[in-house]
Amino acid sequence: MRVVFVTHNYPRWPGDLSGAFLATLAGGLMARGHEVRVIAPSDAGKGGEDEQAGVPVQRVRYAVSARETLAYSGRMQEAARTPGGLVALVDLWRAFRRAVRRELREGADVVHAHWWIPAGLALPPNAPTILTSHGTDAALLPRSAVARILARPVYRRARVVTAVSKELSGWIQTSTGRHIPKEYVQPMPVDTTGWPWTEGDGGAITIARLVPQKRVHLALEAIAALKDLGYPMGLTVVGDGPERPALEALASRRGVADLVHFAGRIPPEQIPAALARAEIMLLPAQGEGFGLAAAEALMVGVPVVGCWDGGGLLDLIPERGAGRLTLPFADAIADGVLGILGDSNRFALARSAGEVWRARLAPDHVAARYEGWYREARGE
């Protein structure tokens, strides 16, 4: 089968994090004998044809170089609020639509749009199409009437719709009327070949972009609360973002600067080793689409503490055993940590949960599921 991905995020070079999970899915599909092509945006004038890990990528031009900044940075919603950004978004949609029609004329068997905006908007009617929501796109729907108006026909005309968590499927159904059965909920693949299991002696870890939605300040406050209770625990913060200066100041103000290490961004291939040194993960984010960091933690046997309003994290984190779900307050998170540390079976339970997730997110398993959905979109 010839499958065409349409996406505003796809790796630009080996090791690029932008849409890296889509490259893993593409690899799984190719291993099953399918041909995969990708339509993605140009990046600040860098357009044209390239190839990533054997996958042909067409990077479409959609604006002058200075305005081709909608993709790859995670700032599409922010940029689209400006007049120039909105014009660029409309032009990107048009470029996607032209490229999709060309691929269909040239023999594409199915078109797979990732995120309803902008890729899903380019899906033509009466064509074999599938739409997958990954988080940020579905999160727009409850907040914006304009987004709901635009999204409803997109979700309704796609022959198959999938989502990466039950939380997202609920947002989509409520906002657009398109029901996504639980059988169509599938997170993106993770290749865990060679991943170690944790040794459990390196304190706590948080992996997140340092933005308000991730609420990393609650992890720091929980470390301070544990110290006040006589349980000093180190915390490694992996990730970067605009909140970092404020978080560093908070650590100093709360007297835990000596316990908190800001590691910044690290290459993706180093994440498993960083997790394997951890004893517990703190992930107090709100409204996650899925929560890949939590899945990665469990897949090396690290228990996870998250919050009840964590969105897709509720699909991942058990209430007991390999994790705790708490209220979004520092003291509650600290209590969750102490509850896990008091369980002598915590690593065995986390490893058991991790083995389940390793199987569920294995590239071949995920690719096989999408293979079936592609056939459904084609009416086979």
Question: What value does the mean pLDDT take over residues 231-255?
Answer: 95
Q: What mean pLDDT, rounded, does the chain reach? A: 92
Q: Helix crossing, 216-228 with 244-253: angle to 10°?
A: 10
pLDDT for 210? 92
Q: What is the pLDDT of residues 254-296, one digit of tens each?
A: 999 999 999 998 888 899 999 999 999 999 999 888 888 999 9
Question: What value does the mean pLDDT take over residues 239-251?
Answer: 95
Nearest to 241 by CA among 208, 269, 268: 208
Report if pTM > 0.85. yes
Looking at the chain, how many residues does it have?
380
pLDDT band for position 160 (50/70/90)?
Answer: very high
Topology, domain 2-189+362-377: Rossmann fold (3.40.50)
Q: Which amino acid belongs to residue 133?
A: S
Region label for 162, one of left (φ > 0), alpha (ψ between -120 and 50) or beta (otherwise): beta
Question: What value does the mean pLDDT take over residues 208-233?
Answer: 95
pLDDT for 24? 95
Answer yes or no: are the C-beta atoms of 255 and 221 closer than 8 Å: no
Q: Which CATH number fits domain 204-360: 1.50.10.10, 3.10.20.740, 3.40.50.2000, 3.40.50.150?
A: 3.40.50.2000
Question: What value does the mean pLDDT take over residues 144-164?
Answer: 93
CATH 3.40.50.2000 boundaries in the chain: 2-189+362-377, 204-360
Percent of the chain residues past pLDDT 70, beyond the cut:
97
Question: What value does the mean pLDDT take over residues 179-201?
Answer: 92
